Structures are given as C-alpha cells and as structure tokens.
Amino acid sequence: MRSQRSGHIVNISSVGGFYADPGISAYCGTKFAVEGLSEALAKEVAPLGIRVTIVESGYFRTELLSQDSARYASREIPEYDATAGAVRKGIAAMHGKQAGDPRKLALALVRIFNDSNPPLRFLAGADAVGIQEQKLEQTRAELERWRELSISLAYED
C-alpha cells in the first residue's frame, strides 16, 4: 500500500470499543485497544494515501453470542450478580434475536470501502448509534462538571 500510495485498512472493533459493560471487560479492553491503534495508524498512513476505517458494530445476528463462541469464566461470584452477572444473562438471552442483519452490514461496508472519503469510525447498527450517543452525552456532562478543576492545573508564574 505504501508503494502504490493507496489502500484501505479496515479494523473490526465493536461498540464495546467505545462503551464498556461489566462482565465483558476483557472483550471491551481489546476493542478499546483496536480503537486507539487504528486512530493513531490512520494519522500515520494518511499522508501515504492509505485510509483506515474502524467498524464499531452493535449486535448482529451471528454466532458470536452462542455458547460455542461466547466464553465466560466458569466460576461466578455472587457479589457481581447485579452487574457482570446481569450483563452475561442479558447477552445469552439475546442470542438469535440480535437486530443487525450481517448481509446488510456487508453491503454497507462495500459502500464505505468504495467511497472516496470513508469514515474513520463507522457505527454499524441502530443500537451502536444509540449507545454512542448516550456515551457522548455522559462524557460531555462529566467534562463540564470537572472542567474548572481540569483547566486549573497549570503552573502559575
């Protein structure tokens, strides 16, 4: 791609790379890493004509949530029943009922890959859009709450 001065790198992340839930911290941690790596990589390769897109998908009707795919620690700790336990149960109950259609996602990705100005981040699915909107609102509110303290930290001469 460097020698041809063009190309498109696509990294598959998840809405879990922007918003974390209890009980899936290892999954979210790896997706957060994909996000940071991809964002930095996009800035490194842009002058070479190479684009990067991070696909932040919501829940799609695949086998990802099946018992054959989704693995959790066998030991459950009662103190986490209301947090991690609840999320795990919710995810298990969602298998086979995910709203996202993988075929439509594939067509959307082809459209993005053929676009002359593809996004750095592509939110895939209405659930991903809703989750990100909620997280952005929470992040903005937290920033505003702590703004004064944050900006007060400079040396005073």
- The active-site residue, picked from 6, 14, 19, 31, is 31
Residues of the chain falling short of pLDDT 50: none
* Structure confidence at residue 100 (pLDDT): 82
Please, what are the domains in the chain?
7-151 (3.40.50.720)
Which runs of E-coded beta strand occur in the chain? 7-12, 50-57, 121-124
Out of 3, 14, 25, 27, which one is annotated catalytic?
A: 27
From residue 74, alpha-carbon distances to 24, 71, 77, 92, 118 in Å are: 14, 9, 10, 15, 42
Is 89 one of the annotated active-site residues of the chain?
Answer: no
Predicted confidence at residue 91, as pLDDT, reads 74
Alpha carbon 15 to chain centroid, angstroms:
3
What confidence score (pLDDT) does residue 87 get?
A: 75
57 noted as active-site residue: no
